[in-house]
Structure 1
Amino acid sequence: MVEITAVENILHRKIQQQSALKERFLFTSQETSLLSDGCFKRITQPLLDSEGSQDAFQRTLREQFRLARAAGIKDPLVVGAIPFDSHQPTALFIPQHVTRTDRNQLMTQLKPYQQQPLAPITRQQAYPDKPHFMKMVSDAVAAMNRGEMDKVVLSRLLKLTTEDSIDSTTLMSLIMAQNPDNYHFHVPLANNEVLLGASPELLLRKQKDQFSSRPLAGSAKRQLDREDDHRVGQTLLASSKDRHEHQLVIDAMAKVLAPVAEQLQVPQVPELVTTSQLWHLATTVQGITHNAEENALVLAGLLHPTPALSGYPHQLACRLIQHLEPFPRELFGGMVGWCDDEGNGEWVVTIRCAQLNQQQVTLFAGAGIVPASDPLSEWQETGTKLSTMLKAFGLH
């Protein structure tokens, strides 16, 4: 029988293998850390149909869970990634086996890989380049000044070419060591590519009938000097521009969650949280769902993408993103995580991430644009966000 276990020596044996994470899904948080083995069934059906309903997807998921149990998989999970556009194919699968473990233990087991050098980078390409991105921001500000929307999130890519293929286990171990408090994810994709990263943002966690979310909107670069760093954080907390951007996200999420929640707690004032590179404004939203049988993906799908990744109003912002950004986001800016057959799960926003394809590494970063945004500042902010991944390569 295949079932979820928590056996330390099994984890140790897996991690000691060469390229230990190559075909494995990894996810860590303070609450749950998972490491998968094998693939029972891949699921590519979009989360939403043409009418914007999850019904067809949820029927497929229930059927695949039934087949997994019939095949001897006790307590099956679905894991993987869902794209920014929920109408596009998903990158999900049901593993044959899942090991639950402690995040610190997993990081310790991966530590030896930090000694292995990553292949040197031979080329970097910003896409779009700086002038193009700054014009995107200017065009978005002009649209908002015309009253077309309140906020839009614009993103850019950084494409790296390396001398040799990047070992995803080595890169993952470095990212985890440098960002120990983030949510970590490693997703093997069907085309032999890998999506990995260290997201700071919880989209949705559900345990029985209780759920929570912690959106981030508004950020500032951290400083080396402790006093300077503290001052930057306090300045962010007092910034009318960033507080406005943040409140747009919170109000929109509360509006979506209120109809499905028996209780909903939304703090009036955001808190400051930090990553290795940035200060963020964050608000922890908590609630109890009306229907405990609705799984974590149902609720996450209602929220995704939040205005922290698209803008507000959502449909208008998405149209502007499609018009201004010179690339499809695909899995970038989507969500990544897991959901079990009892409805519990945890999904985070796919940011501070990279997609690996042999000698090609693509990094993603975005910034929330509001009427007070400055194009150069937004370019610099996305650069700071890219540094989370670049640091693993020894770059800034």
Structure 2
Amino acid sequence: MDTVMKERDLAGKQREAESINFADLSPTSGFFFTSPFRSLSTEGCLTNVSEPAVDGDVINGKFQQAMQAAFSDARAAGIKHPVLCGAIPFDKRQPSALFVPKKTHWIERSAVMAAVQAQESELPAVLSKTELPEQQQFMQMVTDAVKAMNDGKLEKAVLSRLLEIKTRGAVERPALLNRIIDQNPNGYHFHVPLEQGALIGASPELLLRKNGNQFYSNPLAGSARRESCPQQDAEVSRVLLDSGKDLYEHQIVTEGMRQVLADRSRHLHIPATPELLSTPTLWHLSTPIDGDVLDPQENALSLACLLHPTPALCGSPTRIARDLIEQLEPFDRGLFGGIVGWCDDRGNGEWVVTIRCGTVNGDHVRLFAGAGIVPDSSPESEWRETGVKLNTMLRAFGLN
């Protein structure tokens, strides 16, 4: 409750006079992002930034120079306070999908929710679903990852799978986004336009928010499926809080973040034990982190790139886990498992992890879900966990 109140207070302080009615916007015509902190919708594209973010944490690195050059061009074009928005892939060595919009509208999240509740939307019927990889291959991937941990060089690896959907006719992105927001009112909702289609989702996980010299993060690791019966649901959450396997997985994430943030922070607070965070389908172990930057030149993207990918989306150690993921997963994640958000020219911004999401291109939808693998992981349990995570998007189509 304290975290929610802080976010509401912060949102109030950050509100601008430009705030407009969500009903007057077309949220799927450009970049769209909602959060308890700030929500925005954009129009047009002034300039693209495709520079890979592999050195994005280096203040004077190539990525940061590309970002500052884009801001400079935008100011020269008459944009007073430009914003860079979009997505960065799971593998920061790949090109970024970022741009500076011609217009940015800051909107009230409450207006978004009111407009969504007032709309009715339908989606085309699903004709087929294809799993990539199929269950047996995914379970073998988990077994192989556990074996790789036996030599002690790897603590955790996050393995993912895709679900490809073919629909009867093109999916209307406004209708899909409307249903996702309605079904996941407390998520971070996003729509990122791509060269072909769009990336759409409702992430529960804040990677990095920066406001002034203060920053916040809320990593999630360790989860359990929710139950419809309140008594059973409460028991599930209690068991999760006591789960040695999930607590171990979560500690790897928070300690990994402590190591990379400590040298860049004047103050850093990471609670010793996690708390619970719930979505409509899952309970998560959650740790709210806050701190103050040591260097005033830090910006939301320099810190986000410092953290990304966290052990919650990749594993630990990062390089060894990433190499194993490349070896085991039969696809390129691309933007899945990356980050999506915005950063303004004053260094403020917000980035969330690109999970509970999918890409939509006409009548083709591709959904993504992953699970953290540790030595105690069960292949069948991890398959079920990814299935539950896919439900966030499947529910929008009326499926489970």
Task: Give the TM-score, by structure 2 length.
Answer: 0.94
Query: Contact 2:20–2:108 at 8 Å: present in 1 too?
Result: no
In the alignment, which residue of structure 2 is the partner of 1:30? 36
Report the residue type matching 2:336 in the other structure: F
In the alignment, which residue of structure 2 is the partner of 1:102? 108
Stretches of structure 1 that go unaligned for 5 or more consecutive residues are: 15-19
**Deviations 1:120-162, CA, capped at 9 Å, x for gaps:** 1101001000000000001111111232311100000000001
The two structures, once aligned, show a CA RMSD in angstroms of: 1.6
Q: Does 1:12 align with 2:12?
A: no
**Deviations 1:309-340, CA, capped at 9 Å, x for gaps:** 00011111001000000000000000000000
CA gap 1:52/1:159 in 2 versus in 1, 3 angstroms: farther
Query: Contact 2:59–2:302 at 8 Å: present in 1 too?
Result: no
Q: Does 1:215 align with 2:226?
A: no
Q: Once the 2 structures are TM-superposed, how far is the Cα of residue 116 of structure 1 from its aligned partner?
A: 2.6
In the alignment, which residue of structure 2 is the partner of 1:138? 143
Aligned residues: 385
In the alignment, which residue of structure 2 is the partner of 1:89? 95
Query: Contact 2:210–2:347 at 8 Å: present in 1 too?
Result: yes
For residues 356-375 of structure 1, the aligned pairs below 5 Å read: 356-375=360-379
For residues 308-387 of structure 1, the aligned pairs below 5 Å read: 308-387=312-391
Secondary structure, counterpart of 1:213 in structure 2: strand
Query: Contact 1:337–1:348 at 8 Å: present in 2 too?
Result: yes
**Which segment drifts farther, 339-348 or 32-41?**
32-41
User: Distance between the aligned counterparts of 1:32 and 1:158, measured in 2?
Assistant: 31
For residues 122-161 of structure 1, the aligned pairs below 5 Å read: 122-161=127-166
Query: Contact 2:57–2:304 at 8 Å: present in 1 too?
Result: no
Stretches of structure 2 that go unaligned for 5 or more consecutive residues are: 1-15
User: Distance between the aligned counterparts of 1:85 and 1:117, measured in 2?
Assistant: 35
User: Distance between the aligned counterparts of 2:256 and 2:29, measured in 1?
Assistant: 37
For residues 257-336 of structure 1, the aligned pairs below 5 Å read: 257-336=261-340
User: Distance between the aligned counterparts of 1:289 and 1:50, measured in 2?
Assistant: 16
Q: Once the 2 structures are TM-superposed, how far is the Cα of residue 63 of structure 1 from its aligned partner?
A: 1.1
User: Distance between the aligned counterparts of 1:118 and 1:93, measured in 2?
Assistant: 29
Query: Contact 1:293–1:342 at 8 Å: present in 2 too?
Result: no
User: Distance between the aligned counterparts of 2:117 and 2:101, measured in 1?
Assistant: 25
Query: Contact 2:84–2:99 at 8 Å: present in 1 too?
Result: yes
Query: Contact 1:47–1:54 at 8 Å: present in 2 too?
Result: no
Report the residue type matching 1:174 in the other structure: R
Query: Contact 2:20–2:105 at 8 Å: present in 1 too?
Result: no
In the alignment, which residue of structure 2 is the partner of 1:163? 168
Q: Does 1:389 align with 2:389?
A: no
For residues 181-200 of structure 1, the aligned pairs below 5 Å read: 181-189=186-194, 191-200=195-204
User: Distance between the aligned counterparts of 1:286 and 1:257, measured in 2?
Assistant: 10
For residues 179-258 of structure 1, the aligned pairs below 5 Å read: 179-189=184-194, 191-258=195-262
1:80 to 78, 83, 86: 86
User: Distance between the aligned counterparts of 1:54 and 1:120, measured in 2?
Assistant: 50
User: Distance between the aligned counterparts of 2:167 and 2:289, measured in 1?
Assistant: 41
Q: Once the 2 structures are TM-superposed, how far is the Cα of residue 107 of structure 1 from its aligned partner?
A: 2.3
**Deviations 1:281-336, CA, capped at 9 Å, x for gaps:** 01111110011221100000000000000001111100100000000000000000
**Which segment drifts farther, 226-235 or 35-44?**
35-44
User: Distance between the aligned counterparts of 2:55 and 2:313, measured in 1?
Assistant: 21
**Deviations 1:334-357, CA, capped at 9 Å, x for gaps:** 000000000000000000001011
Identity between Structure 1 and Structure 2 (%)? 49
User: Distance between the aligned counterparts of 2:344 and 2:116, measured in 1?
Assistant: 25
Query: Contact 1:107–1:173 at 8 Å: present in 2 too?
Result: no
Report the residue type matching 1:13 in the other structure: D
Report the residue type matching 2:20 in the other structure: E
Report the residue type matching 2:291 in the other structure: G
Question: After the TM superposition, which parts of structure 1 deviate over 3 Å for at least 4 consecutive aligned residues?
Answer: 49-54, 110-113
